[in-house]
Amino acid sequence: MAEGRYGWIRAEARKALTLSGATGPHEIDAIRIAKALDVDIVDGGLVGATERITMIGGRARIRVCDQIVLKGRRCFTIAHAIGHKACGHLIEADGDVNRWIDAACSGRTKQDEREADVFSTEVLAPAAWVRPYCDVRRVDLDAVHTIVRDFPVSPVMAAMRFVELSTQACAVVYSEQGSVRWARGSRSFPRLVAREMCIPATSIAREWFGTSVIDTHVRAGLARSWFPDCARVEDRAEIFEHAMLIPEPGWGGVLSLLWIPQIAPRAERIRAAKKIASPI
Ligand SMILES: [Zn+2]
């Protein structure tokens, strides 16, 4: 799907935010955004799904699972459902109560799901408002915790947004039982951390699986231990890992934020390239 479609969805998210009256991070409220778009929210009565959006008469209604404990995850669930409406996806008419038991988004295409996620990410953590939080000299979870403090997002979403918008060479890695479940890298990170990859024995995340003790300090190691055969990583380049446990039910793994300071931030590299390219 062309970036143009995602650009339009992000613009719709910003419009919805303005309609809800939000003028800064602390005023972002999923319920107010729903109200601004004429969407009703109902809690509970949902099994096997986090949310379901249906039409009753001419009005959309989102039913939200009441088992969701983290505020950030609840907000994301509501914003994701609003995203389906904002993106013009098909919304079924409200039917028999037993139909709530069906998994909410199981019938939707991956593209529809991706679009609803793009909407919810931009509406809860708009790039223009999050970017200043990513402008740090040292990459660690402090910036992620600050985003969680100021925006209605979970630690996982805050970390993903941080690496998406950061110019530094950093990545977020979620691991369980000593192997990578998923990872996202910033645009200047040398390579994607492979799924199912065994995490290094010297990492905080690996230590947790052996000892059930999480080291909350930033730990330095060799980048080579994560990327043994990557040509863009020098043998002596350091990597910094800062990790936290994810307490969400159904998760229970470790989130590691990785940073390779030796690789210059993207903006600096672009400036340096321009300098070389420009005639004297
Ligand atoms: Zn969905």
What is the domain range of residue 145?
Answer: 128-269
The total of structural domains in the chain comes to 2
Say if 191 falls within a structural domain: yes
Which pLDDT value is given to residue 37?
93
Question: Distance between CA 162 and CA 138 in Å, rounded?
Answer: 13
Single residue among 99, 124, 149 that ends a domain in this structure? 124
Any domain includes 90: yes
Q: Which residue from 36, 130, 134 is spatially nearest to 79, judged by alpha carbons?
A: 36
Same domain, 116 and 164: no
Cα 80 to ligand 1 centroid, rounded to whole Å? 6
Q: Are residues 106 and 221 in the same domain?
A: no
Instruction: Say if residue 98 is in the same domain as residue 170.
Output: no
pTM for the model stands at 0.87
- Identify whether 54 is part of a domain: yes
| Ligand 1 center from residue 84 Cα (angstroms) | 7
| 78 C-alpha to ligand 1 centroid (Å) | 10
Give pLDDT, residue 42: 84
Segments in the chain below pLDDT 70: 1-2, 69, 95-106, 248-250, 267-280
Nearest to 14 by CA among 153, 158, 152, 121: 121
Tell how strand 59-64 and strand 51-56 pair up.
Answer: antiparallel
Same domain, 147 and 89: no
Same domain? For 58 and 153 the reply is no
pLDDT recorded at residue 275: 61
Instruction: Give CA angle at 208 (203, 211), nearest 5°.
Output: 120
Q: How far is the CA of 105 from the centre of ligand 1 (A)?
A: 4
- 109 with 236, same domain? no
Q: Which of 124, 150, 180 is the last residue of a domain?
A: 124
Q: Please state whether 37 falls in left (phi above 0), alpha (psi between -120 and 50) or beta.
A: alpha
CA of 148 to the centre of ligand 1 (A): 23
Determine contact, residues 41/64, Cβ cutoff 8 Å. Answer: yes
Give how far the C-alpha of residue 249 lies from the chain's centroid of Cα atoms, to the nearest Å.
17
What is the per-residue pLDDT for 249?
A: 64
